[in-house]
Chains A and B, each alone.
Chain A
Amino acid sequence: MKFQAIIDEQILNFDVEQTACGLDISFNDNNLDADCRPLTSNSFSLILNGKSHYLTITENDNSFEVTVDQHTNLVKVKDETELLLDKFGFSDSDEDHAGEIHAQIPGLVTQIYAEIGSSIEKGQKLFILEAMKMENEISSPVSGVVKNILVEIGLPVEKNDLIMEIEI
């Protein structure tokens, strides 16, 4: 089975066979000496070329948050079906969502610094989200024009709620 892993815009291609004693993995057509065993549902022991790694993995939307020796990265995995869909142009591009500002934490919006239609520079402060007794200043990850504001001052928001849309 072919798999593609995408980390930080880097694309890595793997060929994986499931055998009786685990996985047989090739990376760039070289066979890897790798043994990956689940410890619990979220942690794994990986011995890769003789080196022992402790991995913790959680699912995050359609990617995995993988921590290897305390370095965390988002890894997107595509299997053969998804690679095929990509090839025929059915993929869902991340860039379409870059201007969507979500609440990273549940809290209370206490200030909004932008209006619908106003121009925003990357890094400009958009609103204040109060959580864990702190006022967190949220600034814009992109430059653009505010298309939509979906919250009101004083109302609580849940994690991942869409707060603002910015047209790039």
Chain B
Amino acid sequence: MIRKILIANRGEIAVRVIRSCHEIGIETVAIYSEADRTSPHVLKATEAYCVGPAPSSESYLNVEKILEIIQISGADAVHPGYGFLSENAKFADTIAKMGVVWIGPPSDAIITMGDKMAARELAKKVNAPIIPGTTEPISSLDKAIKIADKIGYPVLIKAAGGGGGKGMRIVQSAQEIEDAINRAKSEAGKAFSDDRIYIEKYLEEPHHIEIQVFADNHGNVVSFGERECSVQRRYQKIIEETPSPFIDDKLRKQLNETAINITRECNYIGAGTVEFLVDKHKNLYFLEMNTRLQVEHPITEMVNQIDLVKEQIRVADGKQLSISQNEIHPKGHAIECRLYAEDGFNNFAPSVGNILEMDIPQGLGIRLDDGIRTGQEISPYYDPLLGKLISWGNTRKEAMARMIRALSEFHIVGIETTIPFCKMFIQHPRFQNGDYGTKTLEEIKEELLETLREYSDDLNVAASIGAIQKNLLTDQSSASNFTETKQISNWATSGRKDNLR
């Protein structure tokens, strides 16, 4: 019986896991780098321990120190979140050998599916279609050019141990291949300490669709349906929805069955995601399996009314899944917008700084999974994901309208975020009509930028008045220490009166 979980992560996913734990009476142990001492996951956890200096390699990836904290805190289980150590088989093994529960798949499954070449071999065994390309790492540039010629340009250079778009490059012609390989190797080496790369056919106009699978160690394997993840920048998802507006029931069935077959074949246990590319002729290709909880898992939770983190804990505890396949009937529609600390209208350039203010959207059908607070410094050390805004509606139309409404109410001051970009993207006819693929963001980027520049006179006047007002207040505050918040709160006043009674 799990009583205390150490969350080997930070940011929104650490907060997400802590929330589920506390609902079922499990204590939580946060780890934090020196830069994260006052981050929300530390504030919300039952216990918190410093794991090292700011750089990830010295803190959230510092296995030795994490093992020490597991012992000091007496945690009996570890939830890795996503990223960091979540797909590190050696770490999973070490945890298990300590007699501590690893809330994730067995290390064998992590090893097989984490190695893209081994994963392709496994997919072949269950007759899952795969994308033409190499199954061996590329050893030389000459060989790479030969292979690329054989497959036909454009080709994709990918890191063997990669994910999240890092170490990935599209190559249009033989001239570009050398530079692309060097850059991919350098990024992959830094990000995953593994610079092996391979080449595959680059599919044009593909959709990125993934299936949420779940398995327990009683032989049950279920699918919770698909997520359409085609809105991407730098191969990283930014808006996801379920169900996908692109696929029909026949393809949906095929995707779910293939995903379940792959999950069974690798003796999987826990939550996992099988990713596919679907081309414009609705041919599916197995891409990879992510052996962890995904960033975008909340949309699956919304339409299935299930808490995937609680299921993870149940299954890790040796229990059966709380639901069987014939009880899974997704209802309604859910959309997720990722809030990155990036300027969506300036090539998604990272933005760092202090969150001066936050005004958070609420109301029916809205969920915010975040890891930020007012006054928090967003540092350049970690992934720029601040959180996720999720909307649910009875129909796709309602979910979209609700998301636009919520994004309009969402104000973060002090750093740039992807909130305005996501709002304009969802308002665009291509998204509204469900007519988009992985290329759409690039295609309509300029158009969105134009719309943004259509600045009405009214808005210009409004902005000017605000700036003048702020200018006057700044001058006054430096002259006479002007403040606008000297009102006494009614609660404070009534409290004082109570004391007089």
Contacts and interface: CB of A to CB of B under 8 A. Distances in A.
A149 B349 CA distance: 22
B463 A73 contact: yes
A104 interface: yes
A36 B350 contact: no
Contact of B459 (A16, A71, A133, A135): A71
Contact of B413 (A36, A43, A46, A68): A43
Given A23-B469, A44-B470, A53-B462, A131 B408 contact: no
Contacts of A105: 349-352, 380
Given A58-B356, A70-B423, A136-B349, A46 B464 contact: no
A87 interface: no
A73 B455 CA distance: 9
Interface stretch (B6-14, B63-71, B471-479): B471-479
Interface in B460-492: 460-474, 484-485
Contacts of A27: 461
Interface string B214-254: 00000000000000000000100000000000000000000
A106 B352 contact: yes
A51 interface: yes
Interface string B402-417: 0000011001011000
Contacts of B474: 59
B383 interface: yes
Interface residues of A, number: 56
B123 to A, nearest CB: 28
Interface in B328-355: 341, 349-352
A70 B461 contact: no
A12 B471 contact: no
B183 interface: yes
Given A43-B359, A70-B420, A73-B455, A55 B466 contact: yes
B463 A70 contact: no
Contacts of A34: 465
Interface in A56-94: 56-59, 63-64, 66-73, 75, 77, 79
Nearest to A79: B471
A75 to B, nearest CB: 4
Interface string B423-466: 10000000000000000000000000000100100111111111
A48 B458 contact: yes
Given A106-B380, A131-B350, A131-B380, A48 B467 contact: no
Nearest to B459: A68
A25 interface: yes
A36 B465 contact: yes
A40 interface: yes
A42 interface: yes
B383 A48 contact: no
A132 B352 CA distance: 10
B468 A77 contact: yes
A57 B466 contact: yes
B136 interface: no
A7 interface: yes
A135 B411 CA distance: 28
Contacts of A43: 357, 359, 411, 413
A64 B467 contact: yes
In the complex, which of the residues B380, B384, B468, B485 has the most CB atoms of chain A within 10 Å of its own CB atom? B468
Contacts of B472: 16, 18, 23
Nearest to B379: A106
A122 interface: no
A58 B413 contact: yes
Given A18-B472, A132-B384, A159-B352, A66 B466 contact: yes
Nearest to B381: A132
Contacts of A70: 407-408, 419-420, 423
A68 B466 contact: yes
In the complex, which of the residues A5, A38, A132, A136 has the most CB atoms of chain B within 10 Å of its own CB atom? A132
Contacts of A64: 466-467, 470-471
B458 A75 contact: no
B191 interface: yes
B466 A36 contact: yes
A-B residue pairs, 3 tightest by C-beta = A5-B464, A75-B467, A64-B467
Interface of B: 166, 183, 186-187, 191, 234, 341, 349-352, 356-357, 359, 380-384, 407-408, 411, 413-414, 419-420, 423, 452, 455, 458-474, 484-485
18 contacts: A7-B460, A14-B465, A27-B461, A32-B465, A41-B356, A46-B465, A48-B458, A51-B458, A54-B411, A55-B463, A64-B466, A69-B408, A70-B420, A71-B459, A73-B455, A106-B352, A131-B352, A132-B350
